[in-house]
Amino acid sequence: MKIEQVSSKLLQPIYNGDQPVSTTKSVPLTVFDKLADDQHIPLLYAYKPPNPSNSLLEQGLRKVLSEYREWAGRFGEDGGQSVILLNDEGMRFIEASADCALDEAVPFTVSTLLKLNPSFNGLLKELALVQLTRFTCGSLVLSFSSNHIVADGLFVSKFMIAWAQACRGLEIHTHPLHDRNIFVPRNPYDIKFDHRSIEIAKRKINENSNAFPYSRDDLIHQIIHFTPEFIAKIKNKASSPSSLSCAGANGGGSRRYSTFECMVAHLWRVITRARGLAESDTTYVRISVNGRRRLRPCVPDEFFGNLVLWAFPETQGKNLFNESLSHTAEVIHDAVTKVNDEYFKSFIDFANKNQHDDNLMPKKVSDMKVPSLWPNLEVQSWLGFPFNEVDFGVGKPSIFMPSFDPFEGEIYLVPSVVGDGSIDVYVTLFQQQLPLFKQICYIID
């Protein structure tokens, strides 16, 4: 499939009213923004025809940028503090065309995904960009890619809904909350957790390529579809009395784990086997925890920025091989539960006390010879993203998915567009691991 770029330009916000808008203001990066990965996260939405014109989508985007100015800004400094300059330099808007029908391109290969996802090569100063790719059948693939330091995934989904509302001529029904000064440290500081060995040390990626018998070319992108019936079996197995009695901590009682906890428990066990890890090997899963609902008082979902810390459930291979599914789900549940209001406030204190420590700001990952999270995993949950509300006037998307993430051990959980409660799992593995993974991924032991 050939995709040709037709145009590329910067879009500035459109403001209502006659009063000029200052382009010298800035917003500071919070302690959570500084902790975010300095990388661009792409989302793909596909729509069947008829579709709105590119000009309508462009005008809607310019209107919504007046409310979400950070996307059209640039990183900078103000008084020695890292900030986002609200200078309205613009968001990149790319128009492209494909030489085939959408159905001919689905399922997308890695090379196709990389063409549909706009590249930031040479555009490192820009904080977000959009690519609209038109297919011969009239279908549209919309890719939105943004720097994670500006905002987390939950807020990006809110922005997409607002863009869709603007294109339909509707008022944005929930406006973004721009106050990034709400995370005030306590006086005196009350740091109760070892954040340096958790948020900092555990986020470093193993760059020892000599540890792997594989190469970058061995990376493969796999999509696994889990039906509602299969998900129900996983949840029932994790919560069954016979399974719980092995876990010990529940005393043989009953605990219902969430869909997310059960899915991650199952995938952790399956991938650990597919990787061939030894019983003595230690492995953990990095799980994003949204602080909006965990902080007290709660922070609205419309908060523009990052508000995420991570849980790191950890165990040895022997526990994943020999203990029950409930045991694994309990390890995950307990780790996530600990990332609570007190934990978030402790990190705010820690980050402010160590605000001049350069190690708190994640560095860009170098070109690793073998990009892998081995022996660990990272799970991105998009199960709560309201993608069905991203309606530009033609209905919900026919496809909603991440682009290719070239790290072995990276997993995305995405609600299926079918709308029946099924889940699509996007996982990157080494192709040598794929046969065993596919053989056992639907086996619940």
Residues with a catalytic annotation lie at 148, 391
> Which two tokens mark 80?
């020695």
Q: Counting Cβ atoms within 10 Å, is residue 77 exposed (0-12), middle (13-18) or buried (19+)?
A: exposed
**DSSP code of 389?**
G
Residue 101 host element (H or E)? none
**131 and 43 in contact (C-beta within 8 Å)?**
no
Q: What is the DSSP string of 180-225?
A: ----PPPSS----S-GGGTTTGGG-----GGG-S--GGGEEEEEEE
CA distance 429 to 414: 17
For residue 335, the tally of other CB atoms under 10 A from its CB is 20
In 3-152, alpha helices (H):
31-35, 54-65, 102-105, 110-116
Quick one: which of 266, 256, 260 has its CA closest to 287?
Answer: 260
CA distance 418 to 51: 20
Residue 32: CB partners within 8 Å, gap ≥ 6?
183, 291, 305, 306, 307, 308, 309
Residue 86: CB partners within 8 Å, gap ≥ 6?
22, 23, 25, 26, 27, 69, 70, 73
Quick one: which of 13, 121, 115, 24 has its CA closest to 60?
Answer: 13
- Ramachandran angles phi, psi of 46, nearest 5°: -120, 140
For residue 407, the tally of other CB atoms under 10 A from its CB is 17
CA distance 196 to 189: 16
Q: How many helices (H) and strands (E) does the chain have?
A: 12, 16
Q: Counting Cβ atoms within 10 Å, is residue 300 exposed (0-12), middle (13-18) or buried (19+)?
A: exposed
Strand partners, 285: 377
